[in-house]
Amino acid sequence: MADTATPAQDRPAVTLKPVHNMHHTAFRCRDAEQTRWFYEDVLGFKLAAAMVFDEEPGRSVKREYMHLFFQTTDGNFIAFFDVPDDVEEKMFIARHGFDQHIAFEVESMEQLKAWRRHINKMGRPCFGPIDHGFIQSIYMYDPNGVQVELTVKEPRYEAILAEDSANAHAVLKDWTARTRAVKEQRLNKDMLDQRGIDMSKVDISGLKKA
Ligand SMILES: [Fe+2]
C-alpha cells in the first residue's frame, strides 16, 4: 500500500534499485479452458493459478473475470483474462508478429524441431525454424490470436549480442534521424515528440487510491 497519509515532502527519500526480471505478460483469452489446453497440454507449462474476481482491478466496476497464470520453468508467468460478459470474437483476430508476440526458449535445435513436430501433431500449425542470426525460431498462434515463438540461441549468441549492445545507442540515434520524415507523414508529430505528460491534466478519478 502506498503511504498516502504522510505528505510527500515528509517521506524519506528512497534510492531506486533496478527493476528485476519479467514477472508476467497478460493477454485476453476467449476461453480459460481452451487456453489451458494450449499452454498446458500442448506447450507443457504448469497451470499455476486460476483466480476468479468480481470487480475490475483498481476500479469500482462489477465484472466477473478469471485471471489465469501459466508458469514457465524460470518462474515467470504468461497470464490471461477470461471476461465472459464483454468478450467478443473480434478480440481474437490473429495479430501480426510485429504488433505482438511472445517468445519462449528451448535448449537445442533438436528440441526446437521436435517441438515443431509436436505442435503440428496437436493441430496447431507451426512453421520454421527461421534464422535470425543470433537465434533461430519456430512460430505458431495460440487459440487467442497471440503469436507464440519458441527459440534457441545460436552458439555465438553472447558474442553477437555483446557486439550489438556496444553499438545500440548509436544505431538507434541514426535510425531515429533517418525515419523521422516518414514517421511525421504517418503519425501525429506532437505524439511523436511526447515524453512526460502534465499529470494535473490527467483524469484518474476512476481509479481507486492505492
Ligand atoms: Fe521474437
So where are the chain's domains?
21-91, 93-155, 158-188
Asked if 53 contacts 64 with a C-beta cutoff of 8 angstroms, the reply is: yes
Walk across the sheet containing 135-141 and list its strands: 101-105, 147-153, 135-141, 127-131
The strand pairing partners of 62, in sequence order, are: 55
CATH class of 21-91: alpha beta
Task: Kindly report, residue by residue over 128-178, the tens digit of the pLDDT.
Answer: 999 999 999 999 999 999 999 999 999 999 999 999 999 999 999 999 999
Do the two domains 21-91 and 93-155 of this chain adopt the same fold? Answer: yes
Residue 129, preceding peptide bond in cis (omega within 30° of 0): yes
Report the mean per-residue pLDDT for the chain.
94
- Residue 103 alpha carbon to ligand 1 centre in Å: 6
Give residue 44 CA to ligand 1 midpoint distance, Å. 20
Question: How far does the centroid of ligand 1 lie from the alpha carbon of residue 144, in Å?
Answer: 18
For the segment 180-203, the average pLDDT, to the nearest whole number, is: 93
**How much distance in Å is there from the Cα of 21 to the middle of ligand 1?**
17
User: How many CA atoms lie less than 13 Å away from 178 in the CB half-sphere?
Assistant: 6
CATH classification number, 93-155, choose in 3.40.50.620, 3.20.20.80, 3.30.1490.20, 3.10.180.10: 3.10.180.10
- Amino acid identity for residue 177 in this structure: A
User: Order of strands across the sheet with 46-55?
Assistant: 24-28, 77-82, 62-71, 46-55
If you measure from the C-alpha of residue 77 to the centroid of ligand 1, how many angstroms do you get, rounded to a whole number? 17
In tens, the pLDDT along 5-19 reads 677 778 889 999 999
Give dist(CA 129, CA 51) in Å, integer.
36
Contact 151, 106 (CB under 8 A): yes
Q: Kindly report the number of other CB atoms within 10 A of residue 183's CB atom.
A: 12
d(CA 86, CA 89): 10
CA of 70 to the centre of ligand 1 (A): 19
> Which cell numbers in the block locate residue 117?
513436430
